[in-house]
Amino acid sequence: MANVKCNPDLVRERAKCSFDVNELIHLIDGGENATKEKRHFEETIFSVKELQDAVPEEYLSHKDRYENAVRKATILRDVCREYMKKYNYKPNRFRVGHGVFKDVSPFLLHDGMFVATIIGQGTPEQQAEWLPKAENMQIIGTYAQTELGHGSFIRGLETRATYDPKTEEFILNNATLSSFKWWPGGLGSTVNHCIVVAQLFINGKSYGIQPFIVQIRDLNTHKPLPGVKVGEIGPKMGFQTANNGFLGFENFRIPRMNMLMKNAQVLKDGTFVKGMNEKLTYGTMVMVRVGIVGDCSLNTSLAATIAVRYSAVRHQSKIKAKEPEVQILDYVTQQHKLFIAIASSHVFRNVYSWLSKSYLNVMKDLAQGKQDHLPELHATACCLKAVCSRDAGSVVEECRLACGGHGYMTSSNLPLVYGFTIATVTYEGEQTVLLLQTARYLVKAWLAALQGKVLAPSVSYLSDWLKNDNVRWQNTPEGIVKGFQHVAAGKVKAAYDTIQKYIKLGKDYEDAWNLASVQLMKASEAHSRSILCEVSWGEVIRTSASPNLLQVLKQLAQLYLVYWTLETSGDFLVYSNISKDDIAILREKYEELLAAIRPNAVGLVDAFDLRDEILHSTLGSYDGRVYERLMEEALKSPLNQESVNASFHKYLKPLMEKAKL
């Protein structure tokens, strides 16, 4: 990238960067070698001509766009397979995926959930049967759980799998419209297999939801098998190339061994054997929620790179009347909009790495029959997924708005990035629903704290706060982290007290819960924010980096702490010992941090190391040729391929002629 002829503003910005951009790239990637490998892989992918689109995707019809995505997905699969064989390298498909598809791959659910569910829910024999076929794409699958009538409340799913001991088969049925599967990615026209989550019935008795692996299309003709009704759900806000679909069964039989039986089992005679914990059936969702936190980091870095580079190139208006128009990045309001995006991406990355480790530890424990830390993992993954996805959506939209009119252009890529980022707020557990799951855990933890019990690490601050809620406020990062814990503890207590108040007024627990649920949701958000602050600050101070880089990383981490303290200052005034004077000091600190980060803004987004092919943006490319690219892309419009469009002769001319009469 270094030899590209760049916009002079960007050249100047890069020259004033106070830290070594390569050092930060290596830190993000996990070492210099990892960067080399990543770049070599990306270079390989983006030099494949067939993966490059001659015409921007947006001009294609819905059908052509899908077909083009499948074409590219198959080529990408082949190239990756060869690459992995040759270099023994496991690439991050998500980064290049954005480059190749702009939106998402029709194989997203195959990689993200189908294979993962076979691994997580299948017995060793079942894995031996299906995993090799799924991994080498002999079969292509998705994860079909959500139905027209139920997505959040999965105990309410209606798809039935009724066991027939005579034939040792399950009979799948979707008797109502609301029971039809609706949403699974790739289901529309791509996959031939599904993980179907259905209600198990044996001898008329319900045994809850279980995962089944089901072939739905013929492997040669791709026609739906008899008894299967399947199709695509149509255009959406984003995810256009994900090929989301619907599915229903009519007396469709599958062998007994197609129920994934790592947890619960159905024996030949129809005996149901309970698993260690019925919630382990939800395991794939927990894994993906963890992954989404990492995805939020990537999505935020895409938007931040585009908006910061554009803001360095774009000049508009003046700060001082007699001086030239300034780079819009010099407006402190612009820095306020954008630097939190850079900081959030780092926070999400650090927290993702921390959460992934917890996830892997819990998986190890479960393999040994220990499930003590599962509730904590579930509660933490739920609230972090909810808050990070919501933040990422807001940050991406703020970046888009920060690019003014040009941010509204599809060619900026910000609308597309927003489309797939905001989807993460809903899928894999709608945000409020997940926050309320965490609230269940917090309320239990609060009760345990009141009883003087020892709490799990992520909630131990509740006991600390009970012992001493009167800690003096300190305007230091550690003091702010403590402050976030105080806010969270105060909100958990208030929500808990509200439930108790309603119970005393004669409400039963469920109604009291519902009445207190806004407070419960906010308590859960505050808990999540306190984890984000504590973990990210902790990770930064433990980072080994050169003094210059460490200084910048600390500035970003502090910016995140101060930004969110100021954003939620009302809560701090209510639940911590912060004073108005402390808030004034923090405002000043925030302005200092914006000024300190300003000279490094371009260097910081360069360090996300997102190639132009991944950014896909007229506004965000490395060379900053913004206006040239906007014009080049506009000229690709089919309407610009003819000097006069047929509609002139057909409609406009007759209209004008009629007007003359």
Ligand X SMILES: Cc1cc2nc3c(=O)[nH]c(=O)nc-3n(C[C@H](O)[C@H](O)[C@H](O)COP(=O)(O)OP(=O)(O)OC[C@H]3O[C@@H](n4cnc5c(N)ncnc54)[C@H](O)[C@@H]3O)c2cc1C
Q: 199: helix, coil or strand?
A: strand
In DSSP notation, 426-455 reads: HTTS-HHHHHHHHHHHHHHHHHHHHTTPPP
Give the CA angle between residues 352, 594, 10 to the nearest 5°.
90
In a 13 Å sphere around the CA of 323, the CA atoms on its Cβ side amount to 7
Distance, C-alpha 411 to centroid of its chain: 22
Task: Please tell me the count of residues contacting ligand X according to CB under 6 A.
Answer: 23
Is the separation of the CB atoms in 329 and 320 below 8 Å? no
356 lines the binding site for ligand LGJENVYW (CB under 6 A):
no
Residue 532 touches which of ligand X, ligand LGJENVYW, none (CB < 5 to 8 A by kind)? Answer: none
Single out the catalytic residue among 169, 397, 428, 534.
428
146 lines the binding site for ligand X (CB under 6 A):
yes
Least distance to ligand X from the beta carbon of 190, Å?
Answer: 12
Tokens in use for 282?
A: 């939800």
Q: Is 429 left (phi over 0), alpha (psi -120 to 50) or beta?
A: left
Query: Which residue is at the shortest CB distance from ligand LGJENVYW?
Result: 291
State the binding string over 374-413 for ligand LGJENVYW (x if CB under 6 A, else -): xx--x-----------------------------------
- Annotated ligand binding at 419? The verdict is no
Select from 96, 118, 144, 312 the one that contacts ligand X (CB under 6 A): 144
Is the separation of the CB atoms in 593 and 555 below 8 Å? yes
Which residues share a beta bridge with 246? 182, 231
Which residues, 159 to 198, sit near ligand X by CB under 6 A? 183-185
77 lines the binding site for ligand LGJENVYW (CB under 6 A):
no
Nearer to ligand LGJENVYW, 230 or 298 (CB): 298
Which residues, 157 to 176, sit near ligand LGJENVYW by CB under 6 A? none
**Nearest 10 degrees: CA dihedral of 310, 315, 317, 321?**
140
Distance (Å, rounded) from C-alpha 183 to C-alpha 443?
33
Identify the DSSP state of 246: E
Tokens in use for 172?
A: 């799948």
Secondary structure in 3-state letters for 448-509: HHHCCCCCCHHHHHHHHHHHCCCCCCCCCHHHHHHHHHHHHHHHHHHHHHHHHHHHHCCCCH
Nearer to ligand X, 496 or 575 (CB): 496
Which residues, 226 to 265, sit near ligand X by CB under 6 A? 239, 244
Select from 53, 58, 168, 430 the one that contacts ligand X (CB under 6 A): 430
Nearer to ligand X, 109 or 347 (CB): 109
433 lines the binding site for ligand LGJENVYW (CB under 6 A):
yes
Least distance to ligand LGJENVYW from the beta carbon of 68, Å?
Answer: 20
Select from 152, 178, 476, 640 the one that contacts ligand LGJENVYW (CB under 6 A): 152
143 lines the binding site for ligand X (CB under 6 A):
yes
427 lines the binding site for ligand X (CB under 6 A):
yes
C-alpha separations of 569 from 150, 486, 572, 589 in Å: 38, 13, 5, 14
Residue 354 touches which of ligand X, ligand LGJENVYW, none (CB < 5 to 8 A by kind)? Answer: none
Residues ≥6 apart with Cβ < 8 Å to 407 = 307, 310, 399, 400, 401, 414, 619
State the binding string over 381-420 for ligand X (x if CB under 6 A, else -): ----------------------------------------
State the binding string over 102-131 for ligand LGJENVYW (x if CB under 6 A, else -): ------xx--xx------------------
Which residues, 103 to 132, sit near ligand X by CB under 6 A? 109
Least distance to ligand LGJENVYW from the beta carbon of 332, Å?
Answer: 28
- Closest C-alpha to 2, from 32, 28, 22: 22
Task: Tell me, yes or no, if 129 is annotated catalytic.
Answer: no
Least distance to ligand X from the beta carbon of 19, Å?
Answer: 38
- Closest C-alpha to 298, from 34, 40, 533, 95: 95
Helix/strand/coil percentages in the chain, nearest 5: 65, 10, 30
Select from 2, 5, 88, 153 the one that contacts ligand LGJENVYW (CB under 6 A): 153
State the binding string over 286-325 for ligand LGJENVYW (x if CB under 6 A, else -): x-x--xx-xx-xx---------------------------
Is the separation of the CB atoms in 262 and 116 below 8 Å? no
In DSSP notation, 552-599 reads: HHHHHHHHHHHHHHHHTHHHHHHHS---HHHHHHHHHHHHHHHHHHGG
Distance (Å, rounded) from C-alpha 468 to C-alpha 249?
59
Least distance to ligand X from the beta carbon of 197, Å?
Answer: 7
304 lines the binding site for ligand X (CB under 6 A):
no
Which residues, 235 to 294, sit near ligand LGJENVYW by CB under 6 A? 279, 282, 285-286, 288, 291-292, 294
For helices 62-87 and 93-101, angle between their N-to-C axes, nearest 10 degrees: 140
Distance (Å, rounded) from C-alpha 465 to C-alpha 485?
8
516 lines the binding site for ligand LGJENVYW (CB under 6 A):
no
In DSSP notation, 249-288 reads: ESSEEEEGGGB--SSSEE-TTS-EE--S-GGGGGHHHHHH
Residue stretches of the annotated binding site for FAD = 146, 185
Q: Which residues bind ligand X (CB under 6 A)?
A: 109, 142-146, 150-152, 183-185, 239, 244, 423, 426-430, 432-433, 436
Active site residues: 428
Q: Which residues bind ligand LGJENVYW (CB under 6 A)?
A: 94, 108-109, 112-113, 143, 145-146, 152-155, 185, 279, 282, 285-286, 288, 291-292, 294-295, 297-298, 349, 374-375, 378, 427-429, 433, 437, 440
